[in-house]
Amino acid sequence: MGSCIICGTDVDGRICKSHEEDVVFEFRGDRPGQLVPGRFYSGRVDGYADFGVFVDLAPGVTGLLHRSELDRRLESLDWEPGDTVYVQVKNVRDNGNVDLGWSIRQSQREFRGALVQGAEGDRDADGSDDAVDESADETGETDASNGGDESRAKRTGDGGRVRTDDEASADRSASDSTAGAAEKVDAGGGDETDAPERSEDLDRVEIGTLSNRVGDRVRIEGEVVSAHQTGGPTVFELRDETGVVDCAAFVEAGVRAYPSVEVGDTVRLDGEVELRRNEIQVETEALVELAGEDREAVQRRLADALTDRARPEALTPLAPHGPVEAVEERLLDAAEAVRRAVLESRPIVVRHTATADGYVAGAAVERAVLPLIREEYAKSDAEYHYFKRRPLDGAVYGMDDATNDVTRMLVDRDRHGEKLPLVLLLGTGSTVESSDGLGLLGVYGAKRVVVDAATADEAVESDADVLVSPDVADADAGAGSLSTGALAANLAGAINEDVRDDLSHLPAVSYWEDAPEGYLDLAAEAGYDENTVAQLREAVALEAYYQSYQDKRELITDLLFGDAVAAESAGEDAGRSLAAHISEQFRVKLTDEVETAEANLERREEGGVSFAVLDTDAFTHRFDFPPKALLLEELHRRQRDGDRFVTVGVAMDELYLRSTDELDVRAVAAAAAEKAPQAGIGVMGVREGRIEFLAGAREAATEAVIEAVAEQFE
């Protein structure tokens, strides 16, 4: 029986339930299950991911502070790896994953007390209540065989001095990653020492075989693809022709080991293979930068393997389709660029439109790339570091989007030692309106691959490393029947043949109407009838709208890969599936909005062309589903009559055009600008049929555009 350190109440331990959240705990346990949900703990920042921050609470116990738990944007956090932070344990899952919550208190003095939580219970943090292991000798040192590394985390051998919290936490991080490794590494200059036990001849082994060599001393050779300083060791990520592995080198907590070794260097590393948190890691004993013939031999081996593994042998379309076959070589070039990025440890950033077609395209590539990343990297969370999917609100990759990407990639390079990424643009970036954004990426040397089934400009070829589009590949015949989702699904099949069966239904899902029979048949063979395909399309379109800047990886995966079909195969009512549930919401919302819009359409004739004009500011709900582009497409499908019918949606300073016949939007904007020179008319997005103007000249601009459209039909 003890007393609460806050209120003095008699308790079993050192804190009562009502004051448990007023105290910060230093966790000395060794299993996640020992953590107490609701308590606040001190920890060390381990690293960042797109979805949050990993925090080490103790050796072998790491939690995730998800970005949704933060009270600010993830990008605005100024935490560096190794920093001491304070978090709340929200939940400990059955699989050992620890969910963390944000703590507004980020200093120990802001808590009303501090305790140590060990495997045996809580105790005071100042050394009382058996804070020192009974096996300690007169100087305060403990016998390492009795767990001294952890039990003396706040003590040293200099007369039993009680250490500061920062010193203690740094020691724990160091002992977790490389206990005893300080005696094995010359961290000052990075050269191998003369110790006989380290200079023995070791045969080089491939990184891909390390999972079978746990406990062995090995020698590996390759390229340093990242160098990350933690609160304990320096972690080098090393790549050879077979894979990538983390190698921890320690000299002193938070101090850079081998400071002369940088990203891109070719090195030889000797160390012991260990399993940490169920991940392969090499504890570095000696690391040396290679030069001369040794370096050339390793680089040649890596280059040869990279070329052999990166280029797909051939493209086999998912279904016979002329426009896809016409861009076969360009698709192979794009597939090679993506596969090469994985093998080079280069992050892949996918930018796609926040539409059903765009999300299908992004999900197809994601489905193909993630298994390659898992196969290549020993780290279990590698897929979150090396593949990032970021939807775009519009179909133009503008300077604001490019600036955002450049800022992130520079932060990742400086903070985490990452290479500059490959940026893959799907259904965007193919017209000159995106040239400035693509150019900014090029200034920094980021690789750019553009894949778009719609309008593309030849001028963009100089702005991209690879441009895949029927418009620039002499594939005009039938090109209009190609969606970006279908094109990206075929690209995904070339990237990873093992997932071809998973992709069978995606092309059909990407079409709102007139899907080629080959894709419908392919979906049906995979178990997706036309009704299921329609439900998937509508469900993805609805989710694409809400929080369009998020990738929704797990939700989109549930929708597109195995939801309705899994329900049907299990004998369940397909109507109860996730896609059916969301699709029903889609139809209700769209129908209500369309009925309102139809009642307020202005119908007119101009030069033999029928127009249906809608004031979207006055007769739609702003900031609610459906978005203007989707609403106008549905209106146009329902209202079109004959071959010369145009739907116009007019907002405050922009309008959208939908036409039954092909329309040159740039020519329309240019002609309209001549008719209303003071209206500031220009093109915002060719593939969206989007034209901008000055809000004060809305009426004049609308009339000028309608006249220009009618003249183009003459």
Give pLDDT tens digits for 675-702: 999 999 999 888 889 999 999 999 999 9
Tokens of 443: 């200034």
- Any idea where the domains of the chain sit in the sequence? 2-131, 182-307, 318-567, 600-713
How far, in Å, CA of 79 to CA of 594, rounded? 48
CATH number of 600-713: 3.10.310
| pLDDT of amino acid 523 | 95
The residue type at 544 = A
**SS3 for 591?**
helix
Q: Going by C-beta distance under 8 Å and a sequence separation of 6 or more, which residues neighbour residue 623?
A: none
**SS3 for 491?**
helix
Judge whether 182-307 and 600-713 match in fold. Answer: no
Residue 171 has pLDDT above 60, yes or no: no
Domain 2-131: homologous superfamily in CATH: Nucleic acid-binding proteins (2.40.50.140)
The answer to whether the CB of 375 falls within 8 A of the CB of 499 is: no
Which residues partner with 89 through β-bridges?
100
For the chain, what is the mean pLDDT? 84
DSSP structural state of residue 499: G
Tell me, which fold does domain 318-567 have in CATH?
A: inorganic pyrophosphatase (n-terminal core) (3.90.1640)
Residue 454 has pLDDT above 90, yes or no: no
The answer to whether the CB of 14 falls within 8 A of the CB of 123 is: yes
**SS3 for 84?**
strand
The answer to whether the CB of 105 falls within 8 A of the CB of 71 is: no
Over residues 504-517, mean pLDDT:
94
Peptide bond into 312 cis (omega under 30): no
Q: How confident is the model at residue 339 (pLDDT cuts 50, 70, 90)?
A: very high
Q: Is the pTM of this model over 0.75?
A: no
Residue 242 has pLDDT above 50, yes or no: yes
The residue type at 638 = R
Phi/psi of residue 524, each to 5°? -60, -40
| pLDDT of amino acid 375 | 86
Best CATH choice for the domain 182-307 from the list 2.60.120.10, 3.90.1150.10, 2.40.50.140, 1.20.1730.10: 2.40.50.140
| pLDDT of amino acid 327 | 93
Residues of the chain above pLDDT 90, percent: 57
How far, in Å, CA of 466 to CA of 464, rounded? 5
Tokens of 34: 């020992």
The answer to whether the CB of 125 falls within 8 A of the CB of 26 is: yes
Closest Cα to residue 82, out of 184, 188, 234, 224?
234
| pLDDT of amino acid 129 | 40
Phi/psi of residue 70, each to 5°? -80, 155
| C-alpha atoms less than 13 angstroms from C-alpha of 687 in its C-beta half-sphere | 27
More confident residue, 663 or 381: 663
Q: What is the 3-state secondary structure (H, E, C) of 502-549?
A: HHCCHHHHCCCCCCCHHHHHHHHHCCCCHHHHHHHHHHHHHHHHCCCC
**Interval 625-649: pLDDT, tens:** 998 889 999 999 988 877 789 999 9
Q: Going by C-beta distance under 8 Å and a sequence separation of 6 or more, which residues neighbour residue 99?
A: 63, 64, 66, 89, 90, 91, 92, 93
| pLDDT of amino acid 476 | 53
| pLDDT of amino acid 153 | 33
**Interval 84-123: pLDDT, tens:** 999 999 999 888 889 999 998 888 888 888 999 987 788 8
How distant, in Å, are the alpha carbons of 186, 477, 643, 681 from that of 22? 44, 70, 72, 61
How far, in Å, CA of 96 to CA of 177, rounded? 19
How far, in Å, CA of 610 to CA of 623, rounded? 29
The answer to whether the CB of 98 falls within 8 A of the CB of 32 is: yes
